[in-house]
């Protein structure tokens, strides 16, 4: 076991909370001790929800362990039903309560409540949050889906939208954007779940012609079961970016047997990515890390639609490590599959990218290293639940992505003005970018050579380096340090900088 300050995923019962909190008419009874009762904090503070999450805890204490904790659990179930009158209930144990083996499934079944009660077996010491969300959604679908609804007549092609949950990165806005996209194609949405759905809605899951899998981390297991059981095809393309959205439109149009033309909405991203100022973005070195769905999609947008150079693609979800490694290979980038944020920080410092796209944790890491950063994936903080509509999927999502990726960077005209006023107290290099920190940041550590000691730069060489345009300055620094390392030089002087320029300019 490793102690850590930060974690990318919580235990699996947090994933179950995300499903329960995203739905309506569903209640979660969690066998948990005092101290595991943090759902209110997660959902009301981070997601700005206007009501408490539908979770009831047994909140047993140390003194209860010598008594009947099973009776405590049954009492909590009975009282939760009488107070909230849900359409269905899920029951399970937190990681701590799992150790006392009270069997929540059997205890809940013995109550014979007049609603469906779905037991969750979530191995807290082997699995994590995304697994918990996926397994919870799957168990609910299996328990509630009615095969008879598969024969219901349909006036037009219909689909289910699967995977959105509470605490998901822009899930609310993505569902709205994809629903509008499907509507332009003449495709009706049968059920969107878990987010916004009721248990009674899940009964109708078999009534759709196919399933749209927006977030495979949550929806893939359920979609595969629906495909096997009810012969419903599932989509394989996640519509993040212009290229992927066009592929998604073609895929759903083929599944529904409709014309894809009405969906083309004229995204502004292709025009912006060809604009004059965007030429300054070409070759920008980008480090991408997050859940697999968003990391793979962001890397594709960076490389194919904005002309960035992707230096690393990573994820904390080992279950999707193969997909991330394949994406990294496609972009000629380093693959990073780890849930240790210290490894991520080391990789960012070593690769010295000009932009970091990651989670809330990478935002903190990049701030310490004075590197521009944008958040593209959960885990996220309150600022990533904006009041405005801000999807990352579909054609409007592509516009949002362009702004998200480009705004943290210093653009061409801005760099020109900063160079003109470099001696001004406000715009000097010592002041640092205003969007990164209010204090003067420490200079980014140069890449280390193969020897034991880092190569130093003398003051004259550093001043000359700053005269080089920002979009090639990083490359010039790396070339000079590589040149010095090859020759065993401990410091880079002005002469060394010019020699390296001549060497690599041949």
* Alpha-carbon separation of residue 498 from 449, 469, 475, 501, 504 (angstroms): 19, 15, 14, 5, 10
Q: Report the C-alpha gap between 171 and 169 in whole angstroms.
A: 5
Q: Which listed residue (277, 424, 429, 458) is catalytic?
A: 277
**Which tokens go with 498?**
């010019």
Beta strands in 283-432 (DSSP E): 285-290, 309-315, 334-337, 355-358, 373-375
Q: Is the dihedral of CA 338, 339, 340, 344 positive or negative?
A: positive
483: number of CA atoms within 13 Å, CB side?
Answer: 20
Q: Are 451 and 485 in contact, with CB atoms under 8 Å apart?
A: yes
**Which tokens go with 176?**
């709205």
Q: Is the dihedral of CA 489, 492, 493, 494 positive or negative?
A: positive
Q: Which residue bears the tokens 């002005």?
A: 494
Q: Please confirm whether the linkage preceding 379 is cis (ω < 30° from 0).
A: yes
Q: Are 216 and 163 in contact, with CB atoms under 8 Å apart?
A: yes
Of all helices (H) and strands (E), which one includes residue 403? helix 394-406
Q: Which residue bears the tokens 């490793």?
A: 2
* Alpha-carbon separation of residue 337 from 213, 228, 458 (angstroms): 23, 30, 37
339 part of the active site? no
Q: Is the dihedral of CA 320, 355, 497, 460 positive or negative?
A: negative
Burial class (CB in 10 A: 0-12, 13-18, 19+), 268: middle
Beta bridge partners of 446: none
Q: Are 28 and 89 in contact, with CB atoms under 8 Å apart?
A: yes
- Residue 332 makes CB contacts below 8 A (sequence gap 6+) with 310
Q: Report the C-alpha gap between 178 and 12 in whole angstroms.
A: 28
Question: CA torsion angle for 472, 333, 214, 251 (degrees, to 10)?
Answer: 90
Q: Are 285 and 311 in contact, with CB atoms under 8 Å apart?
A: yes
Q: Which residue bears the tokens 């205890």?
A: 107
Beta strands in 67-143 (DSSP E): 88-93, 117-119
Q: Report the C-alpha gap between 402 and 400 in whole angstroms.
A: 5
**Which tokens go with 29?**
């009874």
Active site members:
277
């Amino acid at each position: 076991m490793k102690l850590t300050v930060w974690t990318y995923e919580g235990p699996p019962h947090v994933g179950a909370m995300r499903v329960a909190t995203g739905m309506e008419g569903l209640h979660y009874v969690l066998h948990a001790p005092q101290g595991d009762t943090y759902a209110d904090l997660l959902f009301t503070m981070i997601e700005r929800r206007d009501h408490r999450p539908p979770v009831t805890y047994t909140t047993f204490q140390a003194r209860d362990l010598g008594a009947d904790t099973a009776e405590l659990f049954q009492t909590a179930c009975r009282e939760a039903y009488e107070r909230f009158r849900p359409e269905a209930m899920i029951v399970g144990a937190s990681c701590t309560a799992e150790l006392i083996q009270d069997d929540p499934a059997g205890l809940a079944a013995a109550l014979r409540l007049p609603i469906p009660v779905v037991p969750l077996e979530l191995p807290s010491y082997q699995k994590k949050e995304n697994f918990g969300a996926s397994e919870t959604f799957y168990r609910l679908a299996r328990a509630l889906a009615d095969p008879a609804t598969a024969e219901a007549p349909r006036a037009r092609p219909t689909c289910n939208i699967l995977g959105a949950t509470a605490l998901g990165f822009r899930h609310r806005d993505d569902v709205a954007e994809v629903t509008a996209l499907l509507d332009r194609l003449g495709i009706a949405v049968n059920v969107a779940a878990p987010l916004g759905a009721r248990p009674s809605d899940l009964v109708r899951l078999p009534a759709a012609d196919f399933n749209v899998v927006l977030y495979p981390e949550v929806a893939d297991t359920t979609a595969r079961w629906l495909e096997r059981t009810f012969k419903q095809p599932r989509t394989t393309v996640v519509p993040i970016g212009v290229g992927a959205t066009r592929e998604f439109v073609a895929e759903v149009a083929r599944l529904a047997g409709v014309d894809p033309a009405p969906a083309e909405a004229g995204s502004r991203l292709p025009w912006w990515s060809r604009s004059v100022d965007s030429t300054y973005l070409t070759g920008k070195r980008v480090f991408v890390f997050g859940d697999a769905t968003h990391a793979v999609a962001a890397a594709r947008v960076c490389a194919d639609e904005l002309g960035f150079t992707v230096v690393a693609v990573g994820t904390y979800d080992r279950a999707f490590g193969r997909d991330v490694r394949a994406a990294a290979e496609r972009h000629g980038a380093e693959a990073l599959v780890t849930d240790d944020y210290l490894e991520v920080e080391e990789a960012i410092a070593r690769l010295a990218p000009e932009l970091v796209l990651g989670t809330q944790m990478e935002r903190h890491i990049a701030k310490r290293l004075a590197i521009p950063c944008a958040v593209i994936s959960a885990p996220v903080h309150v600022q990533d639940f904006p009041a405005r509509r801000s999807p990352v999927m579909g054609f409007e999502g592509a516009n949002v992505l362009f702004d998200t990726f480009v705004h943290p960077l210093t653009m061409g005209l801005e760099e020109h003005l900063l160079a003109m006023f470099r001696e001004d107290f406000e715009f000097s290099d010592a002041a640092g970018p205003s969007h990164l920190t209010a204090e003067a940041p420490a200079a980014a550590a140069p890449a280390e050579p193969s020897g034991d000691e880092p190569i130093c730069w003398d003051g004259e060489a550093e001043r000359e380096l700053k005269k080089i345009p920002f979009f090639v300055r990083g490359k010039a620094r790396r070339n000079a340090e590589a040149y010095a390392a090859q020759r065993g030089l401990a410091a880079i002087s002005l002469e060394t900088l010019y020699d390296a320029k001549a060497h690599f300019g041949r």
